[in-house]
Structure 1
């Protein structure tokens, strides 16, 4: 039996790449789409093609009238949490590709998911190569004490840092070695230029977010040791294609646990 999917953000950048992949997957059935700008239309027509039989709704409440198993959300930071909570309470597992949620948000989602006996998979990046960047960074942190992140994105990206950088920083802060750099409290000048902090004390991870034209998405992990440096970097291209396979994998697997998991790397092994 196919898994029935509701896709929120179906006419967005990643959503448009997911629609044909879902249509081609024999074990996944796209039953409803959410797009405020195309509500009331057929999804195929909204994307410039022929009729697909997939209705487009303005919001999650209307879409949940269609029986489904999994919500895939690629919307915006100001709606993803409400979408996810509504889906969980309606009995759907959730795959979150939207950035902007923090640890407190995921803790709330985890409580509701466990109450409902459902799974949530949230990833800052569903690209396999971005997931490898995270894995290599976490491995390097076992051996090199000092690490900071640079987060690059387009000038109009609404959240900072990106979901990729936030997820990496929060995971990294839990296992990194104590930093040898001067504590930010002792910095003269403008301490805010030392970046945003994730974690606490000498194990916090500093993230510097750049928002400029010509960037799509990139995250750079910079490690420093006496007389040497290591840089681990992932750059995204202009296409959403790299995120498709990981998202479909998550949709297939999210029914296998209860509560929130963060990161595509939790599924790779």
Structure 2
């Protein structure tokens, strides 16, 4: 029996790339799409093609009347948490590709998922190469104490840092060595230019979010040691294609555990 999917953000940037991939997969079935601007229409027509038989709803709650197994969410920071909660309460597993959630949000979703006996996979980036950026960064942090994150995105991106930058920084904060840079309290001039912080105390990680036209998404992990530096960088292009394979991998695997996992790297190997 195929895995039945509700896709929130079905007519969005990533959603448009996911629809044909799901449709062509023999083990997956798209049963509903969520799009406020196209509610009440057929998803195939909404995407500019032929009728597909997949209905489009304005809200996740409206689509939950149909039998489904997994909610995939590529919407916006302001609605993703409510979507995930509604899906868990309805007995679905959840794959979250939307950025903007913080550690407290993930902790709440983890608790709800455990109560429901369902799995959640949330990733700041479902690209395989972006996942390798995280893996290589965490490996380098075992050997080099000083690291900061540079996070680049378009001028209109509403959340800062990006989901990719935030996921890496929060993971770093759990394992990094104490920094040798001056504590913020000892910085003179304009201390805010030292960036925002994730984590606490001597293991906090500084993140610098740059928002300018021409960027889609790029994240750099910059390590510094005496007389040498290491930069690990991922750049995303204008296509959503890199996120499809990782999202479908998560969709196929998310029923295999209870609770919330963060990062596509938890599914590698």
Q: TM-score, normalised by structure 2?
A: 1.00
- d(CA) in 2 for partners of 1:201 and 1:99? 25
Written as runs of structure 1 = structure 2, the 5 A alignment for 1:187-202 is: 187-202=187-202
- d(CA) in 2 for partners of 1:209 and 1:23? 36
Residue 262 of structure 1 corresponds to which residue in structure 2? 262
- d(CA) in 2 for partners of 1:215 and 1:238? 9
Written as runs of structure 1 = structure 2, the 5 A alignment for 1:11-160 is: 11-160=11-160
Q: Does 1:163 align with 2:130?
A: no
CA deviations on 1:54-113 (whole Å, 9 max, x unpaired) are 000000110111110000000000000000000000000000000000000000000100
- d(CA) in 1 for partners of 2:24 and 2:268? 22
- d(CA) in 2 for partners of 1:176 and 1:33? 41
- d(CA) in 2 for partners of 1:231 and 1:184? 23
CA deviations on 1:120-163 (whole Å, 9 max, x unpaired) are 00000000000001000000000000000000000000100000
Residue 253 of structure 2 corresponds to which residue in structure 1? 253
- d(CA) in 1 for partners of 2:9 and 2:31? 14
Residue 225 of structure 1 corresponds to which residue in structure 2? 225
Shift of 1:166: 0.4
Shift of 1:239: 0.1
Shift of 1:44: 0.2
Superposition misfits of 4+ residues, deviation over 3 angstroms:
none
- d(CA) in 1 for partners of 2:233 and 2:35? 33
Residue 8 of structure 2 corresponds to which residue in structure 1? 8
CA deviations on 1:233-264 (whole Å, 9 max, x unpaired) are 00000000000000000000000000000000
Shift of 1:201: 1.3
For the residue of structure 2 that corresponds to 1:136, the secondary structure is helix
For the residue of structure 2 that corresponds to 1:165, the secondary structure is helix
Residue 214 of structure 1 corresponds to which residue in structure 2? 214
- d(CA) in 1 for partners of 2:226 and 2:98? 38
Instruction: Give the number of aligned pairs.
Output: 269
Q: TM-score, normalised by structure 1?
A: 1.00
- d(CA) in 2 for partners of 1:237 and 1:12? 16
- d(CA) in 1 for partners of 2:61 and 2:97? 19
Shift of 1:190: 1.4
CA deviations on 1:3-56 (whole Å, 9 max, x unpaired) are 000000000000000000000000000000000000000000000000000000
For the residue of structure 1 that corresponds to 2:238, the secondary structure is coil
